[in-house]
Structure 1
């Protein structure tokens, strides 16, 4: 790691945009997290204005050349946003990273939210010291995913959109489905079993990490899954996206 030991991470969500300065050696927040409600509609211009407010809020605690990592609930390809989930459709094909860099006057890395969370779990959390193939999945409104091999992130895996039994996987196995149908964990587990069995057959990972709000109840469903692959709960919870974004921004800017 370079001499830069802190960076700012910002997580753009459907309801809130949250930021904190991250201690990159420890993988922890070094400041209190700040949250601002996501604007409606969440257009690029409106969201970037909120991101700029967060950067200004932390400016006194941030080095002038520190990088800013920003997560977005979308596929991001070389700074270009290719999809839009819980943000305005005007993000699609928007040069998000360049626009953020221009607005903030800083080095910026724009990354998919699940990718950022997975990278944080790999370096500081549940997958620390695992140098094989790690797949993180976030179970929430949909299913996000992050694919990492030998400590390198393979971006934009989108494994929640695998077609399984004729259905988009997240339409059958996301935790929102459990809530909508009023399923118990015992009733929900067969849906997870089918999903993880398919992913396991396709990738033969060394470790699954399960994130999302449901991970706090992991003891109620993970032990019921029958897989070859070890499967564990994420440990950084809702801090993971901010921490991962900050680390990825630092690496992109300073190596």
Structure 2
């Protein structure tokens, strides 16, 4: 689990620290988080609130994670525990939500108050901004966009998701690596095939590097992944009629090799005028979550008066 802590004024980072936790249990992870926040406070005593974005389904009323694939914080009142330990108000949300909020305020969806964001990594996170507000559903657990089914007989999803054929299982970074490995086996003379022959791992990064270098096999993998992504985006376009769909995460390094197939699917599958919904690359990179969490804390603090 990567932990990124910063003190921010808008998009300006006044202080920052990055840590990686490996194998920690719940108590150890909280200790690491509190230690990093306290270090931020020591460096910038003018910090007035804490925003937390975590990869989990959040119950907003209780301020706790109720479902998570890779986070040992289930049913722990994270918001209140951290607030008590650091002596500041804490505002908790899903990491996809805060990344979307950042892109809406400062990034690819600036001045577009109705937007959808997908963050593609090991899985697929998502966030919805509707009318300039984060949409969370009835209890705060909504907008799990990565678990929209695009192939009912597809591969099983990850973690505690009971579905098959979720867009996460078919178009995530994990899926990119899986399809890349299969393509490498089928095309031993390709750049990907040579990576495999050398005993190296054919993961998402290897597929991206090969595609950007012009390897047709790797480009074909991105065409497949992008098309699957576009099927999901077509549904999001029809349901929400967003002003833009923003795609972020590590695989966005492939740029239009990923986005063009997705755009094609939206043009062909979505109803008019939603089939004209633009799909844009995120612009805030790995800082989106940190920026959005800080912005959320500021917004909620102002609301509270």
TM-score (norm 2): 0.72
Look up the match of 1:41. 24
- Name the residue aligned to 2:74: 92
Q: CA deviation at 1:250?
A: 1.7
Moved beyond 4 Å, runs of 4+ = none
Aligned residue number for residue 237 of structure 2:
200
Mapped to 2, the partners of 1:188 and 1:251 lie a distance apart of 36
Q: Which residue does 1:165 correspond to in 2?
A: 151
Deviation digits for residues 135-161 of structure 1, max 9, x if unmatched? 000111111110001211112410111
The one of the two structures with greater contact order (alpha-carbon pairs below 8 A, sep at least 6) is 1
Q: Determine the C-alpha separation between the residues in 1 that align with 2:25 and 2:8.
A: 25
Q: Deviations over 1:170-213 (max 9, x none)?
A: 11121320112205212322212222222223322221000111
- Structure with larger Rg: 2
Q: Can you list the C-alpha shifts for 1:53-83, whole angstroms capped at 9, x where unaligned?
A: 1122222332356101111110112112111
Q: Secondary structure at the match of 2:110?
A: coil
Unaligned runs of 5+ in 1: 1-13
Deviation at 1:217, TM superposition (A): 1.8
Q: Which of 45-54 and 229-238 deviates more?
A: 45-54
Greater share of helix: 2
Structure 2 Cα separation of the partners of residues 121 and 94 of structure 1? 29
Q: CA deviation digits over 1:25-45, x for unaligned, max 9?
A: xx22122x31222142341x2
Q: Aligned partners of 2:43 and 2:125: how far apart in 1?
A: 32
Q: Tell me, what secondary structure is at the counterpart of 2:67? A: coil
CA contact (8 A) 2:116 2:236 kept: no
- Root-mean-square deviation (CA, aligned residues, Å) is 1.7
Is 1:177 paired with 2:175? yes
Give the secondary structure class of the aligned counterpart of 2:88: coil
1:122 matched residue in structure 2: 104
Shift in alpha-carbon separation, 1:65–1:35, aligned structure 2, 3 A: closer
Q: Which residue of 2 aligns with 1:28?
A: 12
Instruction: Please say if 1:72 is aligned against 2:109.
Output: no
> Is the contact made by 2:41 and 2:47 (CA closer than 8 Å) also made in structure 1?
no
